[in-house]
Amino acid sequence: MTIQLGGKRTVRRAYGIDEIALVPGGRTVDPDVTDTRWSIGGIDREIPIIASAMDGVVDVSMAVELCRLGALGVLNLEGVQTRYEDPNPALDRIAAVGKHDFVPLMQELYSQPVQEVLIRRRIAEIREQGGIAAVSATPAAALRFGKAVAEAGADLFFVQATVVSTEHIGPEGRERLDLATLCREMGVPVVIGNCVTYNVALELMRAGAAGVLVGIGPGAACTSRGVLGVGIPQATAVADCAAARDDHERETGRRVPVIADGGIVTGGDICKCIACGADAVMIGSPIARAAEAPGRGFHWGMATPSPVLPRGTRISVGTTGSLEKILRGPASLDDGTQNLLGALKTSMGTLGARTLRDMQQVEVVVAPSLLTEGKVYQKAQQLGMGK
């Protein structure tokens, strides 16, 4: 449906996760027999959840623990883990600073150069402890450190920026990252993001991406939508990119997972993203609430420390329980932020979906009142969904 914006400009209506609902079909399935397994870059995982490459979310020990529990964590190769031999003093300062002094402190701490030796060391530490070494860098850092990442034995390489495309116009004489060449020659599966449209997702898949990250600006700590005015609400973005995946699979026989990245807080959000077509989700703030998370109860985005245009902030998320409780339960909170796997399996059972591919086929409706209908007491008393 197109809408007349004014003059000759028409626009398309796009939908966020909070504006849709999932519709039960003609059967139900026992949650115990649902199958949530998925694969990326030849690596199989039970839980379709990736912890974001953010310094308040994933360090070496968290990456290892996430793998042990059946999920996946991505280490930020341009964060404090690779700028400091011991990142703990920097993390302590980030947790202690006031909100008005936060951005200058981040710019100071992240001005310390990334050290290649620490990149190699962190990858080795994850592998030595039995974890999957999934690491992330911006395109500029991928140019600089890609060889070291491969030599260190990384299992997955995420190349991430606010917006990524296969066609980039830059200043004359400046080296640019050729994504197709990187995917072909890296020797490690390359996951690329972020994008929000059918055409760009399809081009990234054709370039050889092992996975595509979808989402611009919906993250809890991200301010890109306010700073840049850029983004598409996540339900529409995921559905469009999932359509590109399906067409690419029909053309080539190769399935490239679509990963919804950002704007996901509860188990219900995860379920809706998968129903829109995602194969998995990348989440930050829900994992930052784990007792084991390095952020000390805080969460901040990757673009926060930018020396010229910060596009993120630090938010307080608190600490609500162990990582195991958040991922696998049992939950002690009633707001959908714990036992995320249990929520997904229960939703799949309710909807009659045995597998994630079944889940991607369930009926979705536009439902702006889904989270408020009948919840007046919860909202007034700040309980459950009214918190």
Contacts of 364 (CB under 8 A, 6+ apart): 20, 21, 22, 23, 235, 272, 275, 276
Cβ 215 vs Cβ 194: under 8 Å: yes
Dist. CA 184–CA 207, nearest whole Å = 8
149 SS3 class: helix
How far lies 244's CA from each of 39, 40, 206, 357, in Å? Answer: 18, 17, 10, 15
First-residue to last-residue Cα distance in the chain: 34
Cβ 208 vs Cβ 183: under 8 Å: yes
Dist. CA 273–CA 280, nearest whole Å = 8
Cβ 296 vs Cβ 92: under 8 Å: yes
Question: Of the listed 45, 122, 311, 328, which one is catalytic?
Answer: 311
How far lies 254's CA from each of 32, 120, 192, 238, in Å? Answer: 30, 31, 16, 19
101 SS3 class: coil
Q: What are the backbone dihedrals phi and psi of residue 155, each rounded to the nearest 5 degrees, phi first?
A: -90, -35
Question: Of the listed 67, 195, 222, 241, which one is catalytic?
Answer: 222
Q: Which two tokens mark 230?
A: 């850029």
Contacts of 41 (CB under 8 A, 6+ apart): 155, 156, 188, 189, 191, 210, 211
- Nearest in space to 129 (alpha carbons), one of 64, 43, 51, 59: 64
Dist. CA 7–CA 287, nearest whole Å = 46
Is 311 a residue of the active site? yes
* CB neighbour class for 275 (10 Å; exposed up to 12, middle 13-18, buried from 19): buried
**Radius of gyration in angstroms for the set of CA atoms belonging to the chain, rounded to a whole number:** 20
Residues designated catalytic? 222, 311
